[in-house]
Structure 1
């Protein structure tokens, strides 16, 4: 099938996006997504599209463009991609040079996920320039803060009635991701009694109590999770990722804290998972009745994605992708995306985009430029067929 999009066009858009730094401000060297947002807003204005600028935080706006459809008042198709990237520390290339070599474009965000955004912009541009009108409105949302607190996509939930289905841009190798894990991150604290280390029996070591907690996680919780894998995303997990305790080498510690990362699978409710963990650890024997455990409220809580392979958005996307690349897989992945938040409020969502997750966040991040152009063509097919 002949390609509609010239790869030169998607390459130029992607190069311009990568050359604009948009490292999430929560990371070292971060800057607001403002300049990328301004770029996207100008892009839509040039095409004569209706544009909405939603100030999520100071200098961090979501930009939403709308391509009108034949049925202008119907809920529309949402194409969403985030503008922020992770940090550039320890990269081995110039993160913003957007160097092209051997059919690849290198730079921070090239793969995750400015390639998806470039493909979406190129697809909409082609529709406008060729006077193509979709059956229903198509919204293109460039959002902020996916890499940390996903405040950008949460802002979209305020206008959820506009959307009947969503394609969320992330590197999937042009396959369709219909399921992914959620996450619960929280601190667990053990409390003991401080004492001089020369008289340890007068105290209760919070570190010793934490050993009991970690042993329970390793020997009881992990085997239980591994025994019930999901067919697409695999097993749930619970990992201890940080630990801190004690104040001096001659003091029995009365406090010890760990941070945990609990990956949930479709069928699990993240809030319920946290509550059950609280109950389980509160009943745990810590080796001394004077010791106690506190499971603090989550500082990150995200949900799973579990979209039916038979849903219209998945069927339309996979049909369009098959025309361009042949066999297309419906996959599950272990990481999270903005799609779970949209699905949570009843918007059927699928994750799709050029590039491989193996290149995301890497020291020499890159994306295959032919895939970016193919992604744009696939999106055009979905835009023109969805809602028929």
Structure 2
């Protein structure tokens, strides 16, 4: 593997804007998708576009192994978050002090570059891995997970042929076997509008919402500690947005709270939502004048809990430790594409170069030495006999 080639590929990926359309200035992933498709074509690998929605497609490619009936999946997303507020040129891919800077450099084009160059290295060296290696470059990880969901649905009937999936995200070369899921929904508190000069004749929805906030704090104190997971900790929630009022001199008739509830392995997002909805309606019944509604969630995602003892996991850990002695098996508070693959029966872990603390930042960067290490881990692991069962 040539380190300078890895830098070249990562720089070219960063230089292609792929901001998710769900964010301001979103370009979509079509430019990166075309790059990946061309890359695989030049290697002589079978590849195809998998349409997800208008103008957005996953790219799937396969390096055949000695046993073509079994596959290792390498998956990474192509989209990034917005670039507003960045203090560096977001799409320059500049290198300084052993780091490559730019939007997506860390999250997660470094992982995608490592996967592409790993395939290129194996192909050009004439090496045939024991099983086929499938690359899935997917869209929409940063918003709705539509890309991995489409891929997972398409392989659900043949998931048994996949011994495991490595999902690229910045983990510092540790292996994430468990992470949280989420359910996000609105809580609408209703009041009665009126002139602010005589608020007693109205019903202030913002003030009523304080009761809801107090109840949410009680849930956090009373319920979450008993649900703590060994690797990811307890559930959490965050009131991430509050919207209410129309003018400085009008008593607000509506206050909307946006809640981001993080689930732990063993919790089902919709069950969590229904329980919280019931708790809030019970609050409204015992608090005179409190009126609220809780619409259906606008985003749900699942937690991940892949058994650490699986040969697939232990074999990857051994490969990682050959290049970073301190690599370990950890949990994470964030979510990833891995849980959607696990839901259809593909054992999945999260692994890649970079630090999650650098993701989405104003000067996003990744250590090039770590990208190189990740690529070497993928090359070595792809050449190992891999078992699926525990």
Q: Given the two structures, how large is their TM-score scaled by the length of structure 2? A: 0.93
Cα 1:310–1:288 change in 2 (3 A) is closer
Superposed, 1:192-341 pairs within 5 Å as: 192-197=191-196, 200-285=199-284, 289-341=288-340
CA shift digits 1:45-81 (9 cap, x unpaired):
111111011111222110011011222233x111000
2:110 matched to 1:111? no
How far is the alpha carbon of 1:252 from its aligned partner? Answer: 3.9
Superposed, 1:43-82 pairs within 5 Å as: 43-74=39-70, 76-82=71-77
How far is the alpha carbon of 1:312 from its aligned partner? Answer: 2.6
CA shift digits 1:312-338 (9 cap, x unpaired):
321121011111211321011111110
CA contact (8 A) 1:270 1:303 kept: yes
Q: Which moved more, 1:140-149 or 1:65-74?
A: 65-74
Cα 1:200–1:93 change in 2 (3 A) is closer
SS in 1 for 2:223: helix
Q: Which moved more, 1:277-286 or 1:214-223?
A: 214-223
The CA distance in 2 between the partners of 1:208 and 1:40, in whole Å, is: 52
How far is the alpha carbon of 1:92 from its aligned partner? Answer: 1.0
The CA distance in 1 between the partners of 2:46 and 2:294, in whole Å, is: 47
The CA distance in 1 between the partners of 2:330 and 2:3, in whole Å, is: 27
Q: Which moved more, 1:136-145 or 1:218-227?
A: 218-227
CA shift digits 1:198-245 (9 cap, x unpaired):
665554332232111001112343443145422211221121111122
CA contact (8 A) 1:213 1:286 kept: no
Q: Which residue is equivalent to 1:142? A: 137
The CA distance in 1 between the partners of 2:375 and 2:23, in whole Å, is: 30
The CA distance in 2 between the partners of 1:125 and 1:186, in whole Å, is: 43
Q: Which residue is equivalent to 1:126? A: 121
How far is the alpha carbon of 1:387 from its aligned partner? Answer: 3.3
2:30 matched to 1:31? no
2:150 matched to 1:155? yes
Of 8, 13, 18, the match for 2:14: 18
CA contact (8 A) 1:203 1:252 kept: yes
How far is the alpha carbon of 1:147 from its aligned partner? Answer: 0.7
Q: Given the two structures, how large is their TM-score scaled by the length of structure 1? A: 0.94
Of 87, 95, 98, the match for 1:100: 95
Cα 1:82–1:115 change in 2 (3 A) is same
Q: Which residue is equivalent to 2:86? A: 91
Q: How many residues align?
A: 383
Q: RMSD of the alignment, in Å? A: 1.8
**5+ long unaligned stretches in structure 1:** none
The CA distance in 1 between the partners of 2:341 and 2:129, in whole Å, is: 22
The CA distance in 2 between the partners of 1:316 and 1:183, in whole Å, is: 30
How far is the alpha carbon of 1:97 from its aligned partner? Answer: 1.1
CA shift digits 1:228-275 (9 cap, x unpaired):
422211221121111122334454433221111111111211111001
